[in-house]
Structure formats: structure tokens, C-alpha cells
Amino acid sequence: MRLGAIGFLLGILALQALPELPARAWALALPAVLLALALVPRLRWPAWGLAGFLWALLLAPPPGVLPEELEGVDLQVEGWIASIPERQPRSTRFEFVVDRAWDGERPAPLAGQRLRLSWWDDAGSDASPRGKLQVGDRWDFTVRLRSPRGLRNPGGFDYERWLYAKGIVATGSIRARPPPRRLVEAERYPLDRYRQHLAERFERHLSGHPQTPILIALTVGERGGMTSWQWEVFNRTGTTHLMAISGAHIGLVAGMVFALVWTLWSWIPWLTLRWPATRAAALAALLGAGGYTLLSGMSVPSRRAFLMLAVAMIALWVQRAPVPSRILALALLAVLLVDPGAPLQVGFWLSFGAVAAILYTVVGRWRERQGFRRTVGLQLSISLALLPLLLLFFQQFPLLSPLANLIAIPWVGSTVLPLSLLAALAGLVSDALQGWLLDWAALTMDGLWQVLRWLARMPGLLWQRPEPPLWALALALPGVALLLAPRGLPGRWLGLPLCLPLLWPPVAAPAAGGFWFTLLEVGPGLATVVRTQNHVLVYDTGPRLGATLDAGRAVLVPFLRQQGVTEVDVLIVSHADSQHTGGVRSLRELLPVARILTSAPEQIFIDSAEACRAGQHWQWDGVTFQMLHPPESGFGGDNASCVLKVTGQAGRVLLPGDIETAAELTLAATYGSGLAAEVLVAPHHGHRNLSTAAFLNAVQPDYILFSTGYRNRFGYPRPETVARYQTTGATLLDTAREGAITFRLEPGAALEPERYRREQRRYWTAP
């Protein structure tokens, strides 16, 4: 069974690695595979893997592709709000299930599909219809949709995978005209409506209290109200898992119910004679955990945790000796059978890794008289067991995570969570009692928050490593198992050398005289990275991506960490436009930056920033960096952008920022053939009337790169500008279509682009 569960998982992973889904007709072979699994022992291992592959293929929803003719046009949709609205200062986001849709007079093929909609309202008033959105209400909206697309960059969050896992086929915004209309109240989703009612009760009683979003997240699993600084504290202390209703929370509720029912049942002899207390407590624990799972909105982590708990409780119910490894294998199979897409979520790996570490560490080795010492040791063991996964997924590890969790888990489990759940139940009886319990829950959470903030402010809290190669991960897994093995096991010391490649993996770097250039996909903005053998330059940091997120935090820093970069030697902010400066603050907060150059130090308010000026130059590892523009005077605004040329032994890259015609003509007249570069980033994202013939004749590029957003509102790159570029014979590439674009300009290497969206394609990835 144990090897079978692993084989089933490997088969699912094989399907998820494919760039396209095979024909679903292959799933018809599943009965034959199951027959071979039962009758042919020698084929059992490959049969388990093939069964996992075919089962995942059978249940995999087809990737949602919005017909191209429906993108960017006004559609009328009628349907139901299907999730608790996430209210922001200027917008509200929610999921919407379509009943009917029209494109003008024609029906649109969206019936039964799930959308993710944003309702923007500058007023942001609760008196507006946007402030009265309720789950289950039927509405009539006019929307403008687009295919589910995210920013595709190495190390970045796969938004398209996240949308696919939630079954969302399109995202879009609600139009103000004609006005949205609520047609029917409370027509569907009574459970989610009750969850929203609880969240609103919490907000009303604890109005303005900073811990209210945390209490709501713990009680009903709704995390949309949490602020970026709250997430930052949880991330830096390694306690983010507390905000996802998962194994720890479900297990705590089940444990409390089990202990209460077992104690009360044992006190009543006639009940004990009719039914063993253990069986009654197991059933009650299962029901209690199921109720909490429903209250959490049946989120993926809570469903996964409930299935794992159900396997253990059923084992108690049937009075079978619970072999921990067998229970874990059965739980794994149960989760994969119900949700073959679960391995797409990072939480799947972290939750099973933590449970496996607990079972491996505790079974046969727990001693009650050493309870506290063992508890500390267990927390350290979990942290060590999860280290490979954290470095693989996030390239960082909170060093104080064991201490923070040793404090936070019992604190939340014994005070904050029970009080919050009791407050939810008390609302059925007394508003006054509910308010009293909420006040105490907020008070206890305040105390924990002060501790976590103090830990988060400690310097050097996050230990960062580059993304480990798979071979290093393969060595580390048995290494961790040896380190966690019982004392006295022969060869236990080998665990440390097996883990060393994971802790200090080899970091790839360009050869001397060469450099790597990456144009990142940041939407309507610009962010690039130039790496030489020992140095890193960042040119622009992209735009802000929302009220609390920017390209520096979401794209640039994850890419640099994935590459093993720990410090930026030079940051160039080409000019003061927000599409280029949006990520500066996040970059400087998360990574040290040695030097900053910009054309407008008096406008962007960066401490210690220097002015970029024509004539500045330096050399790193045999690669020359030249600042070609702006001169001391004569230019302003976009035309004053810092223009950088990077020259190595294998080629040249020209970065012109947002310069326009006047600056192009000046550069062509001043440098002539000195502008020549194999790779040119198109000035101003392909703005109209660019680029001039004189400028293009001087540069003579082989590749012209555009940094634009998919279906951006500016229409970049403009068709007339694209036509002008095409006359040069250069290859044109756009991040909106290609994702991140990388050139490795090294001696002896061909000049070929690496297109992240194409080369790292999965079947859920948009074309």
C-alpha cells in the first residue's frame, strides 16, 4: 500500500508535467490497468503509476480558454456570486458562476463557467451597490473579460495554475454602464452566505481592530482582508500556515471534541456498556472536524486535512491497530482520488511533509516524562524535514521558525482559535456573549502579535539560498531521514554530507567576458536583470500591480532569489514613470542595493541615488557598461531616460528606457555605429511614432524586445511602430506572449532567446 500510494502520486505528477493534455479517451484503459494491478503482482508498481496518470487525466478539467472574439468586448452575464467578496479600498473581487451570457443579441458560450470579477468604484462607499454584495445573490452584470493569464517568470507565482485549480476560465471587470442589477437574493450557496454573515458580524463588533482579519481567517477561512504587512510578519516568522485552515486547525478541533466526548462518555456507565467510548469519541471528532471544514468553505487545505483525519478516525472506529505509515499512505490515496490536482498546490507537499515528519519522529520514541523537551525536539524535526521543500519552493527559510511556531501553535490552539469558534457558535444564542468572546479572542491575538512582530524585526531572520537542482533534492531527502533517525543507527552521520548540496547548491553564473540578460514580464512596465560572473545590475523595477503588491516583490525579487543573487550591485531607474519605479521600495527592502543611478533623483526620492549621465562607464568581469544618455542638460521627462549599453565578448544589449524621437535622433547623431547592438529593448514599449529610421539604422538589432502587458489599455506595441521594426529584419518578441525572455551572451554560444512561457509550458498555461 505504501509503495502503491507513492506510485499513484508519481503517475499524477507525470501528467502534470506535460505541456498538453493527452486525449481523454486514453482514460478508457483504466479498468484494464486496475485488473493488472489486482492480478499481476509483477506489474503492480508500474500499474499503480499508470493508474494515477489515467485517473488524473480522467478528472482533469479542460483548461479554460475564452474565445478570442469575446476578449475585451462588453458582455452581459447573469448568474450567482459564488465566493465571499474581497473588499479593497477601491474595488471588490469575487467569483461568479454564469447562468446565461450574451454578446449583443447572440448567446455567449459561458453558461456554467466560473469567472473572477473585479468591481471598481472610486467612491468605495458602503452605500454603493458594491458594498452590498452577498454570496448566493443573482446579479446581472455587463463585464469585459480576458483569458486567465499571469506573469510568467522564473521563480514567480504561477497565477495561471492557481486560476486553473479553482476552475476559473476568465477574469474581468464589471462595467458601470448599464448599471449592475441584483435580480434575486439568497438563491444559492447557503453555507458560504452564512460564512459571510459571520465575517460581517466579526467586522461590526471589532470595527477597526487590526486583528479582525486574522480572527476571520481562522474562523471561516476568508483571508482577503489581511494586509500585506500582516503577511510579511507571518512570512518572516514562518507562521503563515496558521492562516490556512489545514491540518493543525482541523486536528485541534478533532482532538478537543474527541477528548471531551471520551471523558463524558466514560463517566456514564450505561453508555460505555452499549458503545465503547473510543468509538463514540472518534465519530464525534469526525463530525466536529467535518463541521469546521464546512465552516472554512471547504478550502483545499481543509478538505485535505479532513480526509487525512477521516482515515485515522475510521481506523479507530473499526478498532484496527493504527500503523502510522499505513494511515499516511491511505490518507494520501484518499486525497489524490478525491482531488488529483492537489499536488499542484504547495500546501499539499508541506502538509504531508509535516505529518510524515511527525509520524517518523514520534512513533516509538515519545516519552511522557520528557514532554516539553520532546515538544521542542518535534518542532525542530518538522522544521528540518520541511527545509528541502521550503528551499525548493521559496528559496528561503525563516531561521526563527521553530521558536515562533513553538510559541504560536499552542497560543493559537489554546486561546485564539477556541475563543473565535465559540464566538461563532455563541452568535446563535446571544450577541452579548459573542461580543465578549470576540473581545477576548482579539486580546489574546494582540498578545501573540506583539511577540511575532518582535521576532520579525530581528536582523538576518531569513536564510536565503538559490533554487536547488533536483539531484541535490534527491540526496537531501534520505539525508534528512538519516538525521531524524533514532540515535545509535549506524551511518546516521551520513545525513549531513547528503544535505550539503541542498544547503550550498552550485550557483550557475556566466563565463568571464559574457553576461546573461533577462527581460522580465511585469505587465505594462519594464524590469530587466543583467548578470556577469560576479555582479548583478537591475535596470528598472516594473509597475505597481495593486494596492499592496508591486513587480519588485512579485517578480523581480523572486527571480533574483531563484538565481542565487543575494545583492544588487547597481540599480538603474531610467526615469520617474511609475511603470518603471513601482518595485523600487520592495527591492530595497528585500535585498541590499549597493548603488542607485537615475535620471531624476529629485523626483523619485531615493536616498543616496546618483544622477545617470552620458559618459559614465565601468567594467565587470570583462563586460563593459556605458551610459549613453542623458547629457547634462537639454532633455526632460521620458526623453531624459538613462540609456545603457552592455557589451560583452559575445554580443551587446541596448536599454533605452522610454526615450522618444528627440533623444533617438540625438543618440544616432552622437554615436552613429557606436549604438550597434544585437539585442534592443524597444523604447517606450512600442509607443507610436517610434523608432526613427536613423536610430534603427545605427543600432542594427537582430532582436527587438517589447515589454508590454497582455491586451494592455495603451495598445502597445502600436501596429505602425511594429511595422517600422519589421523592416529591419529583426526578430520581434513580446513579453506578453513569451513571458520572461533571456539571452545568454557568452563566448562560443549562439545568440538564441529563452522564452519562459513556451519552454516551461504546462497544459494549464495560456498560449
- pLDDT tens digits, residue range 15-41? 999 999 999 899 999 999 888 888 888
Cell of 593: 542595493
95 three-class SS = strand
CB 584 within 8 A of CB 541: yes
Mean pLDDT of 294-319: 76
The band of 481, judged by pLDDT with boundaries at 50, 70 and 90, is confident
Query: Does the pLDDT at position 124 exceed 50?
Result: no
Among residues 297, 225, 109, which one has the least CA distance to residue 548?
225
pLDDT band at 263; cut points 50, 70, 90: confident
Mean pLDDT of 692-709: 92
Grid cell, residue 522, equals 511585469
Average pLDDT over residues 40-64: 88
CB 646 within 8 A of CB 637: no
**CATH no. for 68-188:** 2.40.50.140
Q: What are 725's strand-pairing partners?
A: none
| Pair 33, 51: CB distance under 8 Å | yes
Decide: helix, strand or coil at residue 471: helix
Q: For 182-186, 501-505, 622-626, which range has the lowest pLDDT when averaged over its residues?
A: 501-505
Predicted local confidence at residue 624, as pLDDT: 97
Question: How far apart are alpha carbons 49 and 101 in whole angstroms?
Answer: 41
The H-or-E segment that residue 283 falls in is helix 277-295
Range of lowest pLDDT (369-378, 399-408, 642-651): 369-378
Phi-psi region at 658: left, alpha or beta (left = phi > 0; alpha = psi -120 to 50): alpha
Q: Within 10 A of 351 (CB to CB), how many other CB atoms are there?
A: 22
Q: Which residues contact 272 (CB under 8 A, 6 or more apart)?
A: 265, 266
pLDDT digits (tens, 9 = 90+) for 560-577: 998 989 899 999 999 988
Pairing of strands 536-541, 568-573: parallel
CB 628 within 8 A of CB 671: yes
pTM of the shown model: 0.86
Mean local confidence (pLDDT), 617-624: 96
pLDDT in tens, 344-392: 888 788 777 777 777 777 655 544 445 456 656 666 777 788 888 888 8
C-alpha cell at 736: 506578453
pLDDT at residue 304 is higher than 80: no
Check if the beta carbon of residue 195 is closer than 8 Å to that of residue 133: no
Question: Helix crossing, 247-266 with 417-426: angle to 10°?
Answer: 70
Distance (Å, whole) CA 378 – CA 384: 10
Strand 114-120, strand 731-734: pairing:
unpaired
- Provide mean pLDDT across the span 725-746: 94
Q: What is the pLDDT of residue 363?
A: 58
Residue that wins the pLDDT comparison between 330 and 694: 694
**Residues across the chain:** 767
Q: What is the pLDDT of residue 245?
A: 66
Which pLDDT band, with edges at 50, 70 and 90, does 546 fall under? confident
Which grid coordinates are listed for 149? 493569464
Q: Over pLDDT 90: what percentage of the chain?
A: 39
Give the model's confidence band at 443: pLDDT under 50 very low, under 70 low, under 90 confident, else very high.
Answer: very high
Per-residue confidence (pLDDT) for residue 128, from 0 to 100 = 54
For residues 568 and 538, the answer to whether their CB atoms sit within 8 Å is yes
Which run of H or of E encompasses 697? Answer: helix 693-699
Sheet-wide strand order for 651-655: 617-620, 623-629, 643-648, 651-655, 679-681, 703-706, 731-734
Q: How far apart are the C-alpha atoms of 216 and 424, rounded to whole Å? A: 10
Does position 548 have pLDDT exceeding 60, yes or no? yes
Angle ∠(9,14,17) on CA atoms, nearest 5: 125
Distances (CA, A) of 18 to 9, 737, 763, 764: 15, 20, 6, 10
- Alpha carbon distance 204, 319 (integer Å): 47
SS3 state of residue 638: helix
Q: What is the rounded distance in angstroms from the CA atom of residue 565 to the CA atom of residue 529?
A: 11
What pLDDT shows up at residue 243? 74
CA atoms within 13 A on the CB side of 587: 35
- If you average pLDDT over residues 54-75, what whole number do you get? 87
- Of 157-161, 390-394, 549-553, least confident by mean pLDDT is 390-394
The distance from CA 225 to its chain's CA centroid, rounded to whole angstroms, is 17
**The pLDDT of residue 718:** 86
- pLDDT greater at residue 422 or residue 493: 422
Contacts by 98-101 with C-beta closer than 8 Å and gap 24+?
99/138, 101/75, 101/76, 101/77
pLDDT of residue 125: 43
CA proximity to 219, closest of 398, 424, 60: 424
Which of these ranges, 161-170, 244-253, 474-483, 531-540, has the smallest mean pLDDT? 244-253
Average pLDDT over residues 250-268: 82
pLDDT score of 691 more than 90: no
* pLDDT at 123 exceeding the cut of 60: no
Among 743, 767, 739, smallest CA distance to 754 is for 743
CB 173 within 8 A of CB 119: yes
Cα torsion for 460, 462, 468, 471, to the nearest 10°? 90
Selected residue with higher pLDDT from 313 and 206: 206
Domain ranges of the chain: 2-59, 68-188, 202-464, 470-496, 515-756
Domain 515-756 of CATH type 3.60.15.10: yes
Burial degree of 460 (CB within 10 A; 0-12, 13-18, 19+): exposed
Q: What is the DSSP string of 484-497?
A: TSPTT-TTGGGHHH
Separation of CA 169 from chain center: 18
CA neighbor of 110 nearest in space, from 74, 136, 78: 78
**Distance between CA atoms of 325 and 312, rounded to whole angstroms?**
11
Residue 244 has pLDDT above 80, yes or no: no
pLDDT at 228 exceeding the cut of 80:
no
Instruction: Please give the average per-residue pLDDT across 447-458, as a whole number.
Output: 90
> Average pLDDT of the chain?
86
- The reported pLDDT for the residue numbered 458 is 82
Task: Label residues 75-102 b or e (16+ Cβ within 10 Å = b).
Answer: bbbbbbbbbbbebbeebbbbbbbbbebe
More confident residue, 371 or 625: 625
